[in-house]
């Protein structure tokens, strides 16, 4: 029988997390009860939102308890089924957590068709991040042809799809990313019209001037993934009746930079005088929009019109370090952990 | 022939304006050209937005030039007409400015029916402030029966109507106002469920605790007129999927309190985790919604279901001081200036 391993939360970080906040544990395989399947994790997803679950603070989801398995999504193979409609060998996606195996209720998992695209995409461009990008662009920001969009974290799992979908709509797309390699990827591979390196800009005013140059008609939509300097830079460039879809704010997740952030009145005044609509959203509220998203985007992934990039950490034991790197922007595209053998790869 | 008088902008304030920033001037009556009418101002409106026009800063409208007549709306009597459809004796509302007379294009004025309500209401509950309240509540905040709303500047021209309309929708209405007299008026005369005196609260946390008590099911809609401490207090009380309609932020108009305001990340995080929709709006964008507003609200004003209160300054020369008082919350209800004799009063 296979060994069972998991990563648990060993301590709550004050500020930036470190490897000491995680612990690898081993034990007995979980048991699948009635209506559940036992899944062997193949790919695990690392996402910025997981930082919030490490805090003992009320948010849209409960925190991970101390000693509890870190939460997250994974793709795996069914190795035992006590639920109709699922059989050993099926590939499924669900909330496996940071673990080698998971017993999951059948109504909380979804089958993945390995013939459409590599199964890892069920955690990225065809999974939660892709769904997030599509809902944010279409339902929240209500982006339209001819408009200009700024996408922060432009080469990340969400941002890279936001920008590519915006191009298919006929929008002008300006990415903001960290470093020249990511910016080159955004323009050369993803087809963005421009990409600005926020690390090369000494302050928000410089970045704001660069946005002005790249968006001569102003910014109609800002897809907010980061907060921080990028938000300060974009706000003065927003056009009247612009929309800001707040998907994340990774720059502030561990408390860094919060004290230096612009005061609220500046943003509030811009929202009023430019008549902006600023809306936060959490993808779990939009499950009814998964099917139309997948219907539109899966064919574009299958035939290569939509590109994606993955960074892979090898082995569950390396997940904590990969997560810490992700929080600092060290990943390039979708950050995955290879937990077990992929039969299709 | 009547004397012509006007108040001009004598200087641009740094911070709070003072009487020295205004100057009373006299001169020759303006001439109505083709397609225009000459109006004798009877009632003039004072509104917080006028503070923004005194700054030399790009906003949704051009600043008043130095030496130019202060802008504003007024109700008056047509004394000469060069436009079809208007005759001497007609009562009209339009952008008279702070002046005893104005020549106004016929397509920028609207006739007022003196049989519906006192003509001063064309500047208040049935005018721009009333229209602002109705659009904010219905179109921007999309407020619904059974929800809880917090209305700041609760007894002001806009806030008092927001709260009364919310009551007619079957909402729970909590006002925030400055001083016990205003709060008593909000609950006893306007029918609000509760009203909190922000001046009596030593800090935003105290006010926030009071809101929690008054809104046991949380706050679904915040009608934002003030910014400052009240915003800090309401934000933590917002329910998931809440809406904030930003109509004004009088607490910050002259720069006071901006440095002490909460940092942007706190608000941004609340918008994300509670999935709030925050939207600024300017009533001039919503002229197409004046007719449905008037159709709904005018009968309720005529039969007394909707109450309103006015503070009147006597004489154009007293407009500057009344405006300075308004910015400090010294008015009670709609602030008007009686510029000339009202034939219906």
What are A163-197's pLDDT values in tens digits? 999 999 999 999 999 999 999 999 999 999 999 99
Mean pLDDT of B274-289: 96
Contact flag B60-A227 (C-beta cutoff 8 Å)? no
The 3 state secondary structure assigned to chain B is: CCCEEEEEECCCCCCCCCHHHEEEEEECCCCCCCCEEEEEEEEEECCCCHHHHCCCCCCCCCCCCCCCECCCCEEEEEEEECCCCCCCCCEEEECCCCECEEEEEHHHCEECCCCCCCHHHHHCCCCHHHHHHHHHHHHHCCCCCCCEEEEECCCCCCHHHHHHHHHHCCCEEEEEECCHHHHHHHHHCCCCCEEEECCCCCCHHHHHHHHHHHCCCCEEEEEECCCHHHHHHHHHHEEEEEEEEECCCHHHCCCCCCCCCCEHHHHHHHHHHCCCEEEECCHHHHHHHHHHHHHHHHHHHHCCCCCCCEEEEECHHHHHHHHHHHHCCCCCCEEEEECCCCCCC
Report if residue A343 sits inside a domain.
no
- Domain CATH for A58: 3.90.180.10
Cβ within 8 Å, pair B271-A263 = no
Q: Are residues A27 and A44 in the same domain?
A: yes
Same-domain check for residues A19 and A163: no
- Does residue A325 lie in a domain region? yes
Do residues B281 and B136 make contact, with C-beta atoms less than 8 angstroms apart?
A: yes
pLDDT tens-digit map of B301-338? 999 999 999 999 999 999 999 999 999 988 888 999 99
Indicate if A140 and A248 belong to the same structural domain: yes
Whether residues A151 and A115 share a domain: the answer is no
Please indicate, yes or no, whether residues B276 and B173 belong to a single structural domain of this protein. Answer: yes
Name B160's Cβ contacts closer than 8 Å, sequence gap at least 6. Answer: B125, B154, B186, B190, B307, B308, B309, B333
Within an 8 Å CB–CB cutoff, is residue B142 touching chain A?
no
pLDDT tens string B36-57: 999 999 999 999 999 999 999 8
- Residue B68: closest CA among B57, B58, B53: B53
Do B137 and B278 have their domain in common?
yes
From chain A, the residues in CB contact with B276 under 8 A are: 279-280
Shared domain for B49 and B90, answered yes or no, is yes
Contact B130, B297 (CB under 8 A): yes
Q: B1 pLDDT band (50/70/90 cuts)?
A: very low
When pLDDT is cut at 50, 70 and 90, the band that residue B256 belongs to is confident
Q: Is the confidence at residue A268, as pLDDT, over 50?
A: yes
Chain A environment of B273 (Cβ under 8 Å) = 59-60, 280, 282
- Give the three-class secondary structure for A186: helix
Both tokens of residue B194?
């509760």
CATH number of the domain within which B179 lies:
3.40.50.720
B57 close to A (CB below 8 A): no
Distance set, CA B21 to CA B7, B255, B256, B321 (Å) = 10, 16, 18, 11
DSSP state of A305: S
ipTM above 0.95, yes or no: no
Measured between alpha carbons, how far is B175 from B181 in angstroms, rounded to an integer?
13
Supply the pLDDT for residue A1. 47
Q: Is residue A289 part of a domain?
A: no
- Tell me: do A115 and A137 sit in the same domain: no
| pLDDT of A112 higher than 80 | yes
**Which residues make Cβ contacts (< 8 Å) with residue A261, sequence separation at least 6?**
A227, A228, A232, A252, B263, B264, B265
In a domain, residue A288? The reply is no
Edge-to-edge, what's the strand order for the sheet holding B277-280?
A194-197, A172-177, A148-152, A219-224, A238-246, A277-280, B277-280, B238-246, B219-224, B148-152, B172-177, B194-197
Q: Are residues B139 and B102 in the same domain?
A: no
Question: Could you tell me which chain B residue has the CA closest to the CA of A259?
Answer: B263
Structure confidence at residue B261 (pLDDT): 80
Task: Indicate if A188 and A249 belong to the same structural domain.
Answer: yes
B193 is a domain residue: yes
Enter the pTM of the model.
Answer: 0.91
Contact check, Cβ <8 Å, B280/A276: yes
pLDDT at A91: 97
Interface check B268 vs A, CB under 8 A: yes
Looking at residue B302, what is its pLDDT? Answer: 93
Measured CA to CA, the distance from residue A150 to residue A109 in angstroms comes to 34
Cβ pair B275:A279 closer than 8 A: yes
* Phi/psi of residue B80, nearest 5 degrees: -160, 140
- B177 and B207 inside one domain: yes
| CB spacing of B272 vs A264 below 8 angstroms | no
Quick one: pLDDT band at residue A2, thresholds 50, 70, 90? Answer: low
* pLDDT given at position B2: 62
The domain of B200 spans 128-283
In a domain, B190, yes or no: yes
> How large is the C-alpha radius of gyration of chain A?
20
Asked if B271's CB is within 8 angstroms of A279's CB, the reply is yes
In-domain check, residue B199 = yes
Exposed (0-12), middle (13-18) or buried (19+): which is A113, by Cβ within 10 Å?
Answer: exposed
Using one digit for the tens of pLDDT, what is the confidence trace for B143-155? 999 999 999 999 9
**A280 CB within 8 Å of a chain B CB:** yes
Does the residue A86 lie in any domain? yes
pLDDT in tens, A39-98: 999 999 999 899 999 999 877 788 999 999 999 999 999 999 999 999 999 999 999 999
Q: Do B258 and A265 touch (CB under 8 A)?
A: yes
Structurally, chain B folds into a number of domains equal to 2
Residue B46 sits in the same domain as residue B110: yes
Q: Which helix (H) or strand (E) holds A39?
A: strand A36-45
């Amino acid at each position: 029988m296979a060994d069972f391993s998991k990563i648990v939360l060993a301590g709550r970080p004050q500020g930036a997390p470190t490897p000491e906040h995680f612990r690898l544990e081993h034990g007995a395989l979980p048991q699948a009860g009635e209506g559940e399947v036992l899944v062997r994790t193949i790919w695990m997803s690392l996402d910025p939102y997981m930082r919030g679950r490490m805090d003992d603070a009320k948010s849209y989801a409960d925190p991970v308890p101390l000693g509890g398995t870190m939460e997250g999504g994974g793709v795996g193979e069914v190795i035992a089924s006590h639920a109709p409609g699922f059989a050993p060998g099926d590939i499924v996606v669900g909330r496996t957590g940071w673990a080698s195996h998971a017993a999951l209720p059948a109504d909380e998992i979804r089958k993945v068709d390995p013939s459409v695209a590599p199964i890892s995409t069920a955690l990225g461009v065809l999974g939660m991040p892709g769904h997030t990008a599509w809902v944010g662009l279409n339902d929240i920001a209500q982006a339209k042809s001819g408009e200009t969009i700024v996408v922060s974290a432009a080469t990340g799992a969400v941002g890279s799809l936001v920008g590519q979908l915006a191009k298919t709509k006929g929008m002008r797309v300006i990415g903001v990313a960290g470093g020249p390699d990511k910016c080159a990827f955004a323009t050369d591979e993803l087809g963005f019209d421009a990409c600005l390196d926020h690390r090369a800009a000494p302050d928000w005013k410089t970045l704001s001037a660069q946005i002005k140059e790249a968006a001569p008609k102003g910014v109609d939509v800002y897809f907010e993934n980061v907060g921080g300097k990028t938000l300060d830079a974009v706000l003065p460039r927003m056009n009247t009746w612009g929309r800001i879809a707040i998907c994340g704010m990774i720059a502030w997740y561990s408390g860094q930079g919060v004290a230096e952030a612009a005061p609220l009145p500046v943003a509030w005044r811009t929202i009023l005088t430019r008549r902006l609509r600023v809306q936060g959203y959490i993808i779990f509220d939009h499950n009814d929009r998964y099917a139309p998203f997948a219907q539109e985007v899966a064919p574009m992934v299958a035939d290569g019109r939509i590109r994606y990039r993955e960074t892979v950490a090898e082995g569950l034991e390396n997940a904590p370090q990969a997560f810490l790197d992700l929080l600092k922007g060290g990943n390039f595209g979708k950050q995955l952990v290879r937990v077990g053998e992929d039969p299709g790869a």
